Structure 1
Amino acid sequence: MLPELVFGVPTHGFFVGLGVTVAAVVFFLECRRRNAPAEQSLIAVTGALVGGAVGMRLSSITETLDPYESWMFGARSVLGGLLGAYVGVLVAKKIIGYKERTGDLFAPAVALGMAVGRIGCHLTEAPGRPTSLPWGVHAPATTPRCPGCVSGLAMHPSFIYEIIFQLLAFAALLWLRTRVTAPGELFTLYVAAYAYFRFAVEFTRANETVLLDLTRPQWFLLPGLVVAAVRLGVGYRRGTYDGILGRKVAV
């Protein structure tokens, strides 16, 4: 566990902030690559940074009913920061009247930003459930919400799993961005892949189960998984993914 970096800088907050910044930079570079207008791109990135900062502050509101406590002392969630960044982009676009879709530009940015942000989670939070696998990790007995830590058990490095997934997703998105040309589909693919991954990786995380051995995030994700499956099925039938499946378009 490494709660603080040099000069007392909180480890988790530092990497979450770094992840949001990295996401903003990748987003800006994607805007330039796709010849999006420079001024609009800069405003969108500004919206991402501001929205990301607000999202990080408010990310713990689900854990407390006190908005002041959430704002002043709440956890700095990677997902909350990046969700806030995305909302910030939408707000910035609305203000300047920019109507082009930016989800496909945002997808690689989110993947790399999540990979960076999860480093902070790995260094400061309970790793996962006990495991006998050879790559199991140990954490100090003082780690919050971690019964396995007190017992000295080896646990799943669940955040490492997510870092690997996000890096692979980032590489895949860079490969797919010239092969999936329908607007919005690159973002759809990423969101669907992450939703299914997150549901699966929850079985290795230390989150409390509430019903049928599923955690709250898993129950929250279930409706989204159905929607994602239907959405991908529609895209498949329409031939949206022919470019990555190697299917020839009928003439």
Structure 2
Amino acid sequence: MTFPFQFDFFGDTVYFHFIFETLAFIIGVRLYYYLKKGIVDAISEIDRLWIMLGAMLGAFVGSRVIAMLENPSEIMQQTWLIFYQNKTVAGGFLGGLFGVELMKKIIGVKTASGDIYVIPIIVALFIGRIGCFSMGVAETTYGIETTTIFGMDLGDGKSRHPVALYEMAYMIVLFIVFRITQYKAMMNGDRFKLFMVLYFLYRFLIEFLKPYHPLFLGLSSIQWSALFIFAYYYTFILRQIRYAQ
């Protein structure tokens, strides 16, 4: 197995990462519209479009700001091209959350809007991480060296944690959990909140298996993003803890 996975197309090198990243977006969107057919949406179609626009704009900015903060020592050497090219899913979720909430305030929507996106997001993440894995150490989605049975040579001759594969496995678990509980009575918006908490819990923990650069108090920008999400949804988390007791 040689990383990164690539092939020649009329003399140009094409990376599988680009293909799977594109597939993740297309399939995620198509799955959203497929699932939307089976529900009565309390939010109008035009408002949904505005909300999705807010999510995309927020995700665009957030993914790049958090990625920039992943390596604090190089912030002053950033160029616009580097800023544009570097991105992280966790930052996209954080920025997307801000974008959605801001857009909803602008258009006057108070209804929770995230539940319908959970399954499409999980599927898109799974597909996207195939592309990340295909890049080996050419992208920052690789882990630190390990002597465990999970170690893989991702292209630099060292046995590393294949964190992209770990996330793919985690997405399968989340998909099963949310499919099993799809008919369980939950407050509107709680499924999305649960997904965000579970995803950022994973991202907080998996950072310790990656060669991250601390931003503040020994934690990376993604870990601080996770702590923000936990604080943002603290009432939901406390409610779930009380419910489980």
TM-score > 0.5 by shorter chain: yes
Deviation at 1:89, TM superposition (A): 6.8
Q: How does 1:105-184 map to 2 (within 5 A)?
A: 105-124=116-135, 125-126=139-140, 127-141=142-156, 152-184=157-189
Amino acid at match of 2:239: V
* Contact persistence 1:19–1:78 (CA under 8 A): no
Contact 1:195 1:224 in 2 (8 A): yes
111-120 or 13-22, larger mean C-alpha shift: 13-22
Structure with the larger RCO, 1 or 2 (CA within 8 Å, 6+ apart):
2
8 Å Cα contact 2:17-2:132 kept in structure 1? yes
Q: Equivalent of 1:59, from 58, 63, 66? A: 63
Structure 1 vs Structure 2: percent identity of aligned residues?
A: 22
**Which residue in the other structure is 1:145 paired with?**
none
Summarize deviations over 1:142-175 as a string: whole Å, max 9, x none: xxxxxxxxxx331111111111111211221122
Q: CA deviation at 1:178?
A: 1.2
- The match for 1:2 among 4, 8, 15 is 4
Gaps of 5+ in 1: 142-151, 240-244
**Aligned CA-pair RMSD:** 3.7
How far apart are 1:114 and its partner, in Å?
Answer: 1.1
CA separation of 1:119 and 1:57: change in aligned 2, threshold 3 A: farther
Map of 2:237 onto structure 1: 232
Q: Distance in 2 between matches of 1:10 and 1:53?
A: 26
Letter in 2 for 1:197: Y
1-structure distance, mates of 2:219, 2:154: 24
* Partner SS, residue 37 of structure 2: helix
The CA deviation string for residues 188-218 of structure 1, in whole angstroms up to 9 with x for no partner, is 1111111111111111122224566533322
Give the secondary-structure state (helix, strand or coil) at the position aligned to 1:9: strand
1:1-251 paired onto structure 2 within 5 Å: 1-2=3-4, 4-7=6-9, 8-36=13-41, 40=45, 44=48, 48=52, 52=56, 55=59, 59-62=63-66, 63=68, 68-70=80-82, 74-75=85-86, 77-79=88-90, 100-124=111-135, 125-126=139-140, 127-141=142-156, 152-209=157-214, 213-237=218-242, 239=243
Unmatched tracts of structure 2, length 5 or more:
69-74
Are residues 123 and 30 of structure 1, via their aligned partners in 2, closer, same or farther at CA, if it must alter by over 3 Å?
A: same
Aligned equivalents of 2:123, 2:62: Cα separation in 1: 22
Quote the Cα distance in structure 2 between the aligned partners of 1:51 and 1:111: 16
Q: Is the 8 A contact 1:59 1:70 kept in 2?
A: no
CA contact (8 A) 1:199 1:217 kept: yes
| C-alpha separation in 1, matches of 2:134 and 2:57 | 21
Secondary structure class of the residue paired with 2:224: helix
| Residue identity matched to 1:60 | R
